[in-house]
Amino acid sequence: MSKKERSSGRKALFYSFGQISDVLSYQSFILLIFTFYFAVVGIGTWLMVLGYSIWSVWNAVNDPMMGFLSDRTHTKLG
């Protein structure tokens, strides 16, 4: 393994450490919101899974579409 390959792998590893706080906070929120909906509101688990699945499919369509639009939008602000 060359020095360049080793350093790029190290760089990727250090960049991935930056995601830990983001993923940890997101997963904590999901755990707490599902617990709230189940224990306090009384929504069934299957209904929460259905809602989360619909939201995931919507994101699979919406996120690339918004990315496409934002990449091609040019304003005087940048």
Total domain count, the chain: 2
pTM (global) more than 0.75: no
pLDDT of residue 5: 59
Give Cα separations from 62 to 17, 22, 50, 59, 67 (angstroms): 27, 21, 18, 5, 9
To which residue do tokens 């009384």 refer? 42
Of 38, 40, 63, the C-alpha closest to 49 is 38
Residues 50 and 71 in one domain: yes
Residues 55 and 33 in one domain: no
pLDDT of residue 3: 60
Residue 53, CB-side half-sphere exposure with 13 Å CA sphere = 6
The per-residue pLDDT string of the chain (78 residues; one tens digit each, 9 = 90 and over) reads 566 556 777 888 888 888 888 899 999 999 999 899 999 999 998 999 899 899 999 999 999 999 999 888 888 876
Of 48, 24, 51, the C-alpha closest to 35 is 48
Residues 49 and 32 in one domain: no
Which range of residues forms the domain containing residue 39?
Answer: 1-43
